[in-house]
């Protein structure tokens, strides 16, 4: 068992750390959110409220952002081993950075466990991840099953099916249940 764990950790470090060793640049990827928050309307009635990436941008910044994009920024060498991935969120309008949501107090991605399979240059990592948000008008603790797909060069994308609880200020009550997905598109190095 120890050998399997050791091989998995070494494999993750080799796979996801390869790009970081050759470059000290952050990896950046589009970050997308699609959630349904369940809000208690009355003592006997519940409504589902859909929250998208655009809603999160508005809740973080406090206003609509023209051409707003949400990015997940991961420091070199963060992916692979279990624990805090030290990732943070960035909101842009066109090429201008509007806001950064720092890690770990306002945003955090934590990896509880992971398993890796490699085939040629394709790498698949199945993981249990937690996503914590506590910034602006959005507060949530989400956890779920993630599938990360990439190459041995350390670049990839992921999708996580999540559940948890949270609140969107002015939209849902505090601590209401949420479910949905969070995902990260193809990564590139920061310019």
Q: Token pair of 126, please?
A: 């199945």
Whether the Cβ atoms of residue 60 and residue 138 lie closer than 8 Å to each other: yes
User: Where exactly are the structural domains of the chain?
Assistant: 2-185
CB 176 within 8 A of CB 146: no
Confidence check: pLDDT of 46 > 60: yes
Tokens 């601590």 correspond to what residue?
175
Between residues 108 and 153, which one has the greater pLDDT? 108
pLDDT digits (tens, 9 = 90+) for 151-190: 766 678 999 999 999 999 988 876 789 999 999 999 888 8
Q: Per-residue pLDDT averaged across 109-138, rounded?
A: 92
Start-to-end Cα distance in the chain: 41
Distance CA 62, CA 170 (A): 12
pLDDT average, residue stretch 54-79: 89
pTM above 0.85, yes or no: no
Burial of 112 (0-12, 13-18, 19+ CB in 10 A): exposed
């Amino acid at each position: 068992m120890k050998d399997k764990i050791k091989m998995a950790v070494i494999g993750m470090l080799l796979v996801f750390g390869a790009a970081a060793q050759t470059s000290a640049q952050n990896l950046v990827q589009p970050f997308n959110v699609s959630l349904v928050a369940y809000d208690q309307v009355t003592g006997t009635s519940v409504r589902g409220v859909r929250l998208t990436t655009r809603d999160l941008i508005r809740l973080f910044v406090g206003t609509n952002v023209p051409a707003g994009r949400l990015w997940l920024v991961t420091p070199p060498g963060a992916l692979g081993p279990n624990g805090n991935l030290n990732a943070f969120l960035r909101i842009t309008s066109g090429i201008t950075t509007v806001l950064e949501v720092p890690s770990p107090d306002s945003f955090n991605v934590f990896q509880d466990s992971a398993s890796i399979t490699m085939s040629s240059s394709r790498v698949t990592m199945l993981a249990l991840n937690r996503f914590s948000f506590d910034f602006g008008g959005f507060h949530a603790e989400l956890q779920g099953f993630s599938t990360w797909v990439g190459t041995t060069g350390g670049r990839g994308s992921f999708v996580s099916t999540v559940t948890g609880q949270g609140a969107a200020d002015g939209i849902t009550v505090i601590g209401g249940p949420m479910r949905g997905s969070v995902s990260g598109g193809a990564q590139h190095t920061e310019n």
